[in-house]
Structure formats: C-alpha cells, structure tokens
Amino acid sequence: MAKPTTVHVCSACGHETPRWAGQCPGCNEWNTLVEEPRITASKGRSSRAGASKAASPARAPVKLGEVKAEDHRRLPTGIGELDNVLGGGLVPGSLVLIGGAPGIGKSTLTTMALANMCGAGRKTLYVSAEESAAQIRLRAQRLGGSALEIPVIAETDLGTVLATLEAERPEVVVVDSVQTIASDEMTSAAGSVAQVREVADAIMRVAKAQQTAVLLVGHVTKEGALAGPRVLEHLVDAVLQFEGERERTYRTVRAIKNRFGSTNEAGVFEMRDNGLVEVLDPSARFVAEATRAPGSVVLCAMEGSRPLLVEVQALVNPSELEQPRRVVAGIDRNRLALVLAVLGRHAGIGLGNADVFVNVVGGVRVDEPGADLAVALAVASAAKSTALGNGQPLGCFGELGLTGELRSVGHADRRIAEAQKFGLAQVIEPTRHAVIRRAVGAALG
C-alpha cells in the first residue's frame, strides 16, 4: 500500500497526523488541522541521526551554583518605550517576535528602531518579504533622520536571506515578515506551519552563530492571536504584542514573553504623520479628555510597573430585544457579565431589560481585575443618569467579589498617588469602601 502524499498538521502545536480530525490529538484544539504535502527526510539525514544517537557520549551535569551567570550586553533601539518593554534593549543573538493587526504600525516601529541604531553607528539590515524597496523608501522618507541610510533587500527566498546575513553580518536585522519567506527545499506554501517553523529555525541558527539581534514581524489571526504554529512563540526569546485600533491614535506594546526581562512592562505610542511618537505621560492626556458626564469614571490602572489613568465610559439604554445586548471594548466581556450580576444582586441595580455598552477610551485594553469597580461605577452612573463625584474628578480601582465585597489589588499606593498627581481628589478604593453598595453610594453622592 502506497504511503499518503499529504499529512495534516496542527496550526497551534505542529502535531502531525495522517488523517483529518476535528480535534488535534496533540493540544486538543478544535479545527486546527491543515492538510499539507508530506515532507520526507533524506536517507543521509536519517542515517546521520541514527549514527549520532548511537555514538553520542553522555555529559556530566553541572550544579547551578557553579554555572557562571552571563551579563547580557544590550543594544538600545533609541526608542525609550520599546527599550523598557524589552528590558533595556536588544540582546545580541536574540530573536524578538512582534505581532499586531495589519496597519497597526509594526513596520513603522521597526524601521524607526533601525534608523536610530543605524544613526548610532550600528550595522543594520532590513529584509522585506512583503514590500518592495521603493515602498520602504517612501516610509523612510516620512520618518526622516537616518532612515534612508538603512540597507534593505526585498527577498522571499530563505536561502538568499541566509546567504545575505552571513555575508553582511549585521548587528541588528528586521525580517518583515516571517510568514512570507519560504524555503525551496519544502513543497508547502509560504506561511504554512512547516514553512514558518523551518524559516524561524534557520534564521535562529544564523543569528545565534553571528550574535545578530533579529526582529521578526509576524501576522495575527482574526482573533488577535499570533499566526502560525505555537512552536514559533516557544522558539523566539521575546514576543511583543502591538495593540490598538487603526482608527485611533494610541498604540500599546506589551511583552507576552521575555527571556531577558520582565513581562510586566508596556509602552504607549501615538501615531502621527511622521511616525510613532512616545507618550511619556499618557495619564495626563486621558484625564484631560475625560467628560465627567454620567457614565464616565477614571480608572487607576497599572500597565506593568507604571500607573495609568484611563477613562471608562458606559451607556445603559432600555432594550427592545428579547436578549439585551452587552457590548464591550477594551475589557473582557465575561468580566462585564460578572459586574452586572453583582450590581443587580448586591447593589440593587438590575439591568436585565437594558442594553449595556462599556468602552475604555483611547483604544487602551485593560486586562487586570482592578478594573471591575470602574466598570461597576460607570454602569451605575449611566443607569441612574447621575454624574459621579458631584461633577468633581473621581478615580477608582478595585476587584469585585461575587458576594459583593471589594478586594484589594496590587500597588494601591502608586495608583492613589497617580490620581492625586492629576487632580483626582476623590478615589474610591477597597480599603475605604468594603462592599459595592457603599462604593456606589459614595460615588453617586
């Protein structure tokens, strides 16, 4: 019986199976198996693998206390917000994956970083597999500075890219994007699980050997997750998520994974005609734009180690539908359902027959539980058509428990200090108001 010429590969974990199934046997994800041509290893490779397995000597383990700790030398990108997220700059030989929606500004950010490093005397290279050199020049002219001094190649063949890296030996290279480069040794199309895995692995080997810092630009799926196999995220040293909406000016860069730094940092940028501009004090802009109208409250949030003040708005309107709508932007929809249930049970504000809309102004996304109280107060204010704090600036933070209690969150002193710094004299927080009913009563006066 002839062997099948195709194999089904999971786009999430890379597991291979000869037959299609609704659920991946490797990671239990649904509808992730994609049919691809079978790739067979050469006889030479298999024989070498068997020989090395048989002849490989055992290695003596070393105690961790006897291992010399390496002090990683950093290459600053010249963009303070990006350097903070990276932990101080790029580490030579590291791979950093930057993902984000189309048009969010990934290419602009990486071009700005290369321009700064090129101006500082670093040897750089821009590998573009999506745009021509002429298109990249147009973006570089808009950015100004040393952007026009960046060496660039427009190439989609992996062999040519690797040969260029070995010949030029740059200190920093940008590959835009990893899903559009393909190897001729594989029959599958560019962007497939096998191709992405092979391209990333080949670039990693060259980067480690030459101590070249690599910035890989990656695509995202319609759900917002990084496209390609999960093995890609495990392979790289850092994964940065570029968030925001193209229609809005603010962008946020977060570290999902970082082997050389913390994952608690975030950088805020503003998109302008001349590129991305660092927002060094975003709280001042968000507080100044707050409306103070019914349904508006200022959340004292934490973006990593940085306190951030953002406006949370809510709109409550009688519903004409049998199933009222729950629409959110910037927070988790399930958290809104929890907050509405607690408001109805423990604060006497039932919204079962009303449409509820909640939005974090400015395109910022807040994932911490400390936003529960802000959502609750904004919804209560909108339902009662009463401005919070008698028209005075009002800030809040706190986690909401299912029994109606307010739970404390981290860095409370820093949140309060940030609120007072920008004129928020009244702050509703868990230590002063133990339950949601008291917090709503104090906020509504």
User: Which long-range contacts (C-beta less than 8 Å, at least 24 apart) are formed by 250-254?
Assistant: 250/279, 250/282, 250/362, 250/363, 250/364, 251/104, 251/105, 251/276, 251/363, 252/303, 252/364, 252/365, 253/81, 253/82, 253/85, 253/109, 254/85
Tokens of 222: 């319609």
Q: Hey, is 172 helix, strand or coil?
A: strand
- Give me the residues paired with residue 315 across strands: 357
DSSP 378-435: HHHHHHHT--GGGGS-EEE--EEPTTSBEE--S-HHHHHHHHHHTT--EEE-TTT--B
Distances (CA, A) of 247 to 42, 272, 363: 50, 12, 9
E-strand stretches of 259-346: 266-272, 275-278, 296-303, 306-318, 326-329
**Contact residues for 102 (Cβ-Cβ < 8 A; gap 6+):** 219
Look up tokens 């028209």; give the residue. 391
How far apart (Å, rounded) are the C-alpha atoms in residues 347 and 341? 10
Per-residue pLDDT of the chain in tens (445 residues, 90 and over written 9): 456 677 888 877 778 888 888 898 888 888 888 777 766 544 444 444 444 455 678 889 999 888 887 777 899 999 999 999 999 999 999 999 999 888 888 999 999 999 999 999 999 999 999 999 999 999 999 898 899 999 999 999 999 999 999 999 999 999 998 989 999 887 777 887 788 888 999 999 999 999 999 999 988 776 666 766 677 888 899 999 988 776 677 888 989 899 988 887 888 898 888 889 998 888 888 888 788 899 999 999 988 778 899 999 999 999 988 899 999 998 999 999 999 999 999 999 999 999 999 999 877 889 889 999 999 999 999 999 999 987 677 899 999 999 999 999 999 999 999 998 888 878 999 998 889 999 999 998 7
Indicate the residue type of 147. Answer: A
Supply the pLDDT for residue 103. Answer: 85
Report the predicted TM-score, pTM, of the whole model to 2 decimal places. 0.74
Supply the pLDDT for residue 49. Answer: 42
Nearest CA to 348 among 313, 383, 305?
Answer: 383
Q: Hey, is 137 helix, strand or coil?
A: helix
Supply the pLDDT for residue 353. Answer: 92
Answer whether the bond into residue 177 is a cis peptide, omega within 30°: yes
Indicate the residue type of 346. Answer: H
How far apart (Å, rounded) are the C-alpha atoms in residues 256 and 239? 5
Supply the pLDDT for residue 244. Answer: 77
Q: Where are the alpha helices (DSSP H) in 211-281?
A: 230-235
**What is the end-to-end Cα distance of the chain in Å, rounded?**
80
